[in-house]
């Protein structure tokens, strides 16, 4: 099954079991997206900290 949105996928589902699988897949996708976003924010913060530390050292020298 392929659908453009969660409501469309749920509407096209034939059984309660299929609706449950669609909901679980959607929740899993959201969880993965949030995890990827959190890792990206952490990596960006680490890069910013490294650049700021480097700039401080350059000013002190």
Domain membership of residue 20 (yes or no) is yes
Domain membership of residue 1 (yes or no) is no
Sequence-separated contacts (24+) of 8-16 with Cβ below 8 Å: none
Domain membership of residue 33 (yes or no) is yes
Domain membership of residue 21 (yes or no) is yes
Domain membership of residue 53 (yes or no) is yes
**Number of domains making up the chain:** 1
User: Per-residue pLDDT tens for 16-49?
Assistant: 999 999 999 999 999 999 999 999 999 999 999 9
Torsion sign across C-alpha atoms 51, 55, 60, 61: positive
Residue 44 domain boundaries: 6-60
pLDDT band at 1 (very low <50, low <70, confident <90, very high): low
pLDDT at 35: 98
């Amino acid at each position: 099954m392929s659908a453009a949105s969660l409501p469309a996928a749920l509407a096209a589902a034939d059984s309660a079991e299929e609706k449950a699988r669609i909901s679980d897949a959607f929740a899993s996708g959201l969880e993965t997206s949030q995890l990827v976003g959190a890792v990206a924010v952490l990596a960006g913060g680490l890069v910013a900290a490294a650049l700021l530390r480097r700039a401080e050292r350059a000013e002190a020298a």
